Chain A
Amino acid sequence: MRRIILAIVSTVASLVLVLSFKTHSPSAVATPPAAVSSTGTSAGTSGSGSSSTGSSSGSSSSSSKKPTSSSSKTYTGDAAMTRYGPVQVQVTVKSGAVTSVAATDYPMNDPRDAQINSYAIPQLNSAAAAAGDANIDMVSGATYTSEGYLSSLQSALDKAGL
C-alpha cells in the first residue's frame, strides 16, 4: 500500500508518500499496544487494500504528467475503522499537487488525528494558519500517525489518481 503521489507544477515539485517508518525510536516499549493493534481493524476498510501491518510492500506509482487545471479539487478517502472509531481523510489537489490534507472524520476521543499530519504537509498546516503567519513553510512537532489515518490518506491519494 505504499503508494506515492507526485506532481510537477511549473517551478514546484511536490510529493507526498506514506511509508511505514516509525517515528522516533524507542517507541516499541512506551507506545501503548492499542496504537499498534488498530492496524488489524483498519485493514479491511482501506481503499488501497492490504494495509495489514503498516509495513506492507507495494508498487510505487508515480507520474509526472498531471492535468494543469488551476482549480482545486478535493478527494475523500474511504473511512478506515480504528479501535477508537472511523477516521476519514480528505486531500485537496490543485494543478496536480496536494495543497492540503485534512481529517473530515475522526474519533471524538481521539481528536488529534485531525491535525497530526498537517505537520508533514508543507505550506498549508493548521498551526501556521492559526498563527496567522503565511511565511511559515512547515511546522516541526512530535507526531504520531495512526494506521487508520494513513490508510484513508492512501485511499484519497488513490482516488485523486496521484
Chain B
Amino acid sequence: MGTVFSIEIRDPGDWTKAIDDVVRWLHFVDATFSTYRADSAISRIDRGELRVADANPYVAEVLDLCARMQHVTGGYFTSVVGGRLDPSGLVKGWSIERASMLLREHGSTNHAVNGGGDMQLAGESSPGQPWTVGIADPHDRSRVLSTVSGRDMAVATSGVTERGAHIVEPFTGRAATDLGAVSVVGTSLTGVDAYATAATAMGSGALVWLESVHGIEGLVVGSDGTVARTAGWGRAPASGCHATHRG
C-alpha cells in the first residue's frame, strides 16, 4: 500500500529548493520508517538488529511521540500492531507536519501538505481567503458532510475505508467497526492524525473522548450514518479555525 502526497505553495516566488528539500525529507522518512522495507530502521529495530539509541534521532522522537499518544489515548493509539513495531499511524501526520515546518523555514507561510486526505495547512489558500476543507461522507464519497475553514490548521480523517475496516481495537485485536469515520481538526497534524485513529478504535466512546481533549474538535460518523460533532465543531476553536455543518 502506498499513498499520494501533494504539496501546494500559495506564496509567490520560486520554491524549487524548498520543494526539493521536502521531497528529500519524505523519502528519508519513507526509507527510515517504512514497515514494508526490510532495511528500514523500524524493521531492523523490530528484528532486534538495531537499537533505538543507535538509529537516526528522528526514530527516538517518533517512538517517544507514539508512547505519549498511547498514554493520552488510554492505549487506543498503539505503535505495536500484531506484535510488530509499527509507528505508521503517527509517522504520516508527523512527517507532513514537519514538511510544513520545513516549508516555513524556507519562508513559505501559505501552503498545504496533503498525504492521502490528511493535511497540514499553513496560512491561507489565497490572500484573505482561509483554507476550506470538506469532510467526505464515508458512506457516499461524492458527498461532503461538513466543511472546516481556517488558517494554520490540521485536518485528518480516519476510519473504515474502501476495503473495510483498517483500524484495530488494540485491546481485542478485532477490527473497529462501530464508526464509519472520525475527522479531527486542530493545529498539529501529528496529534490530530493519531487522535482520529484512536477515536475510531474507541467506537461509541469516541465523541465523549474527543470532547475531553483540549484544542481539537471532531466529527464522528457512525457505521449507521449518524453524524455527531463535538460542541465546538460549529464554533471557532482555540486554533483559530471554524467549522460549519452542511446538509
Contact = CB atoms under 8 A, between A and B. Distances in A.
Q: How large is the interface on A (under 10, 10 to 19, 20 to 34, 35 or more residues)?
A: 35 or more
B158 A133 contact: no
Contact of B119 (A10, A35, A140): A140
B1 A139 contact: no
A29 B1 contact: no
Contacts of B122: none
A20 B5 CA distance: 10
Contacts of B141: 112, 115, 126-127, 141
B144 A36 contact: no
Contact of A19 (B12, B30, B173): B30
Interface string A19-50: 11111111111111001100000000000000
A135 B99 CA distance: 25
B28 to A, nearest CB: 11
B14 A57 contact: no
Q: How large is the interface on B (under 10, 10 to 19, 20 to 34, 35 or more residues)?
A: 35 or more
B11 interface: yes
Contacts of A131: 134, 143-144, 246
A108 interface: no
B157 A141 contact: yes
A142 B134 contact: no
B138 interface: yes
Contacts of B168: 26, 29-30
A142 B141 CA distance: 10
A16 to B, nearest CB: 5
Contacts, number: 282
Nearest to B157: A140
B36 interface: yes
Nearest to B125: A137
Interface string B10-44: 11111110011011101101110011110000000
B59 interface: no
A150 B8 CA distance: 20
Contacts of B161: 23, 142-144
A20 B27 contact: no
B168 to A, nearest CB: 4
A121 B6 contact: yes
16 contacts: A13-B15, A20-B1, A21-B91, A22-B1, A22-B88, A24-B88, A25-B77, A25-B87, A26-B201, A30-B164, A30-B165, A127-B143, A136-B134, A137-B132, A140-B135, A142-B157
Interface of A: 2, 4, 6, 8, 10-32, 35-36, 53-55, 57, 60, 62, 64, 110, 112-113, 115-117, 119-122, 126-128, 130-131, 133, 135-147, 150, 153
Interface of B: 1-16, 19-20, 22-24, 26-27, 29-31, 34-37, 77-79, 81-82, 84, 86-92, 95, 112, 114-119, 121, 125, 131-136, 138, 141-144, 147, 155-168, 170, 173, 175, 181, 183, 193, 196-197, 200-201, 246
